[in-house]
Chains A and B, each alone.
Chain A
Amino acid sequence: MNKLKFFIPVLVFVALGIILWRGLYLDPRTLPSMLIDKPMPGFELTAVDGAEVSNDDLPDQIFLLNVWGSYCLPCLIEHPTLMRLSEEGEIPVVGVNYRDRQDLAANWLEENGNPYAFSILDESGRFGIDLGVYGAPETYLVDSNGVIRFRHVRVLDETVWKQQFLPAIAELKNEGSQR
């Protein structure tokens, strides 16, 4: 027992080492969303194309809510993935045009292609606050009841789609068939 006492500092060191080592690989920039399992915040706003949009216009199935802006370079990187998803009909994508200008946003869509069913125009960033957005790009997975189930911060490329979104969607579908 007395001999064991000498190993206490070593054990404490090892435990601390493991904790801190893990800490090195945590990403402090990826914040947990407060809106997981909460319904999508209500909105009655204008879309980038000028149409009036509200929660009633959201798809009745699982869809992506993608926060973007014409100023946002990473949005350009994830753009081909969003285009593919929407063109191949894999999942509908709704956009939130965050802290942008309507004319710039419309130009951007014309130039690069429009993967969105519609894009909610949020020039003031007020709707973004209700969503808990802190910067484009962010992508939310919303289920068929309009409840937010998953959030990914930063670029959504094919790897992220396969590794994070597909399993999350499979879980949602599985849950739906059990009901």
Chain B
Amino acid sequence: MTSWTLENLRKGVCLGFVSMLLSGMFFSTATIAQVDTFQFDTAEQQQRFRTLSNELRCPMCQNSNLTGSTGGVAEDLRREVHRMIIEGMTDDQIIQFMFERYGDFILFRPRLTAATTLLWFGPLIFLLIGGLIGFGIWRRARKVSIKDIALDASQQQRLQQLLGNKP
């Protein structure tokens, strides 16, 4: 029988922590397993698969990528990405395949077309407008010299009165 000492208590707590950590590790591998069940020939292929699954958007469960989605169509598309990588298609070819079927929507990094110009350059345009306005304000503020806003003798007197200072 083990004695109820501080030393044993400490051992028990440590063991508990270790088992919690271990089970945590198993749980976390279980959640990413839906992406990692695919077999690849090289680590580079696997890396490409990860990047593509992260940059392709799930058409059904919107606002998540293929990696993070459990939707049926995302599962099918992951399988297709895997197949195309194994068959030796380039990233551009795979993205083209997806684009032909699901359009710009599926790309988290939309292509530069007439329809997406505003999307790509809109922020820049707004930055320019804001910059111009800011520059205008700064320039006008610089024109005002200290002489223009300096108080003359009567104004100076009134100020002192308002401040309650006896002249």
Q: Which residue of B71, B77, B103 is within 8 Å of A34 (Cβ)?
A: B103
Minimum C-beta distance from B104 to chain A (A): 9
Decide: B60 and A129 in contact? CB cutoff 8 A.
Answer: no
Task: Categorize the interface residue count of chain A.
Answer: 10 to 19
Decide: A34 and B100 in contact? CB cutoff 8 A.
Answer: yes
Decide: B103 and A129 in contact? CB cutoff 8 A.
Answer: no
Decide: A125 and B73 in contact? CB cutoff 8 A.
Answer: yes
Q: Which A2-34 residues sit within 8 Å CB-CB of chain B?
A: 28-29, 31-34
Stretch of A42-50, A131-139, A159-167 lying at the B interface: A131-139
Decide: A133 and B103 in contact? CB cutoff 8 A.
Answer: no
B42 within 8 A of partner (CB): no
**In whole angstroms, what is the CA distance A128 to B102 when docked?**
11
Residue of A nearest to B99 (CB): A34
Residue of A nearest to B103 (CB): A34
B142 within 8 A of partner (CB): no
Decide: A130 and B102 in contact? CB cutoff 8 A.
Answer: no
Q: Map CB proximity to B onto A105-146 as digits: 1 under 8 Å, 0 otherwise.
A: 000000000000000000011101111111100000000000
Decide: A132 and B72 in contact? CB cutoff 8 A.
Answer: no
Residue of B nearest to A32 (CB): B103
Task: Categorize the interface residue count of chain B.
Answer: 10 to 19
A99 within 8 A of partner (CB): yes
Decide: A128 and B76 in contact? CB cutoff 8 A.
Answer: yes
Decide: B103 and A130 in contact? CB cutoff 8 A.
Answer: no
Decide: B103 and A134 in contact? CB cutoff 8 A.
Answer: no
Q: Which residue of B71, B76, B101 is within 8 Å of A124 (Cβ)?
A: B76
Decide: B105 and A126 in contact? CB cutoff 8 A.
Answer: no
Residue of B nearest to A33 (CB): B103
**In whole angstroms, what is the CA distance A106 to B99 when docked?**
33
Decide: A134 and B73 in contact? CB cutoff 8 A.
Answer: yes
**In whole angstroms, what is the CA distance A133 to B102 when docked?**
8
**In whole angstroms, what is the CA distance A133 to B72 when docked?**
11
Decide: B73 and A133 in contact? CB cutoff 8 A.
Answer: yes
Residue numbers in A under 8 Å from B75 (CB-CB):
125
Minimum C-beta distance from B100 to chain A (A): 6
Minimum C-beta distance from A155 to chain B (A): 16
Q: List 25 A-B contacts (CB under 8 A).
A: A28-B62, A29-B62, A31-B103, A31-B105, A32-B105, A34-B101, A34-B102, A34-B103, A35-B101, A124-B76, A125-B72, A125-B73, A126-B76, A128-B76, A129-B73, A129-B77, A129-B80, A129-B101, A130-B101, A132-B101, A132-B102, A134-B73, A135-B60, A135-B72, A135-B73
Which residues on A are within 8 Å of B, measured CB to CB?
A: 28-29, 31-35, 99, 124-126, 128-135
